[in-house]
Amino acid sequence: MQRGKLIHFDLSLGSYSSFITRIVGLAKKKSSYYVCVANVHMFVEAYRDKGFCNVIHDADIITPDGMPLTWGMRLLYGIQQDRVAGSDILPDLLQQCEASGLSVFFYGGSKKLLDGTSDFLKNKYPDLKVAGLYSPPFRELSENETQDAISAINDSNANIVMVVLGCPKQEKWMHAMKGKINSIMIGIGGALPLLIGAQKRAPKWMQDYGLEWLFRLSIEPRRLFKRYAITNPYFIFIVFREFLRIKLLKKTA
């Protein structure tokens, strides 16, 4: 897919439907790819950490999940880009996989979350081929444990691996697994709990105005306050500074 750049940060470009088509097409190839679903948190993490930025840029697809990212593209470069949120692409991909006979493996998350996922999928997508669900220990895996996980996923013959480890852990894991896991990997993070109803999603009007973060903060203030209190203002500062730089360059040109 064609790419654009939001300051330092690569983003794949195209309509929402083109992302779904591309991901499904790669899933059918049964080769090693990975998809990063990018939001403001990921943008700021990549801005601070060049190594993590390279992890993102090495992805085969980088979807603009957060509305602020699409606003930034429009403000700075005049690019009208659809939002491609993990909470939207996850159910759409599952529906496509069910219709096409493609199999899905879920890696990450707690056993409770995956048990809930299994029940949800049986009811919502009864014909979906679930290749496996694996909850790794909440610690760094040994070399043998990592190899066992790779073997389990490859032996399952999964077309898509949904990775539920949270940012930035899931992106680093996918980067490390590139060339080792014979499937397309997608970091879906918090989209899975929303899908199965373990967490509530913001109302549509809050999604449209880029206020999902505020809704999430109201639900989990203790866990998310530090992240949003730092990352959101920092993102605004970075974009505004770039906006002023571009304006100054135009004046002096």
How confident is the model over 31-86, as pLDDT tens digits?
999 999 999 999 999 999 999 999 999 999 999 998 899 999 999 999 999 999 99
Neighbouring C-beta atoms of residue 249, cutoff 10 Å: 9
Neighbouring C-beta atoms of residue 118, cutoff 10 Å: 13
Neighbouring C-beta atoms of residue 107, cutoff 10 Å: 25
Round to whole Å and give the CA distance between 52 and 126: 38
- pLDDT band of residue 209 (cuts 50, 70, 90) is low
Q: Which residue has the tokens 């203790």?
A: 222
pLDDT in the model for residue 198: 67
How confident is the model over 110-136, as pLDDT tens digits?
999 999 999 999 999 999 999 999 999
Taking 90 as the threshold, does the pLDDT of residue 199 lie above it? no
Tokens of residue 127, six digits = 């014909």
Domain residue extents for the chain: 3-201, 212-252
> Which of helix, strand or coil describes residue 181?
coil
pLDDT in the model for residue 54: 97
Work out whether strand 3-6 and strand 9-12 pair parallel, antiparallel, or are unpaired. Answer: antiparallel
Mean pLDDT, residues 215-235 taken together:
75
Q: Identify which of 184, 185, 188, 186 has the alpha carbon closest to the alpha carbon of residue 26.
A: 184
Q: Are 173 and 59 in contact (CB under 8 A)?
A: no
Look up the pTM and report it: 0.90
Round to whole Å and give the CA distance between 141 and 130: 24
